[in-house]
Structure formats: structure tokens, C-alpha cells
Amino acid sequence: MADMPVGAPAEPGIDDEDLAMLAEGVVAGREWMRTAVQKTLAWVEENPGAALICAVGAGFLAGKLLLHRPRTLEDLIED
């Protein structure tokens, strides 16, 4: 697919080479994620207090971003 001339229309379907590249990418992504989770869990095991502080901070930020109440004009006037 990468060898197509600029003006040529794309053929429908996926080449075997493209599927192989996709499969390699999926495997690489899974390996990277497994390594990241292992390193994170090792850090949490070594630093439980810092991990707790990070978790509380992340929960606070997630709550502020996802569960915020839209302010109305009346709320702004009362402040």
C-alpha cells in the first residue's frame, strides 16, 4: 500500500503485510503495557505512602474534572 502512486485510488481490503505489521504493533503494545504495570506495582510496593498520596490526588482531580457542577449566573452573583 505504501508503494501506491499519489493519484491512484486505494484498493479495498488489507494486505497481508499490513496485518503482520498490525499484529507486531499489538504484541509490542502488550509487552510495553505489561512492563509498565510491573514497574508501577514495584514502585507502589516500595513506596506505599507516596502511592496513597498520588491516588488521593488523582481521585481529587478526576472528581473535579468529571463530577463538576456547572456554575450558573446566580452562583456567581452570590459569591
Residues with pLDDT less than 50, the chain: none
d(CA 74, CA 7): 58
Locate the domains of the chain by residue range.
48-79
d(CA 54, CA 47): 11
Helices (H) and strands (E) in the chain, counts: 3, 0
Burial 30-58 (b: 16+ CB within 10 A, else e): eeeeeeeeeeeeeeeeeeeeeeeeeeeee
**Which DSSP state fits 18?**
H
pTM higher than the cut 0.75:
no
Q: What is the pLDDT of residues 8-25, one digit of tens each?
A: 555 667 788 888 999 999
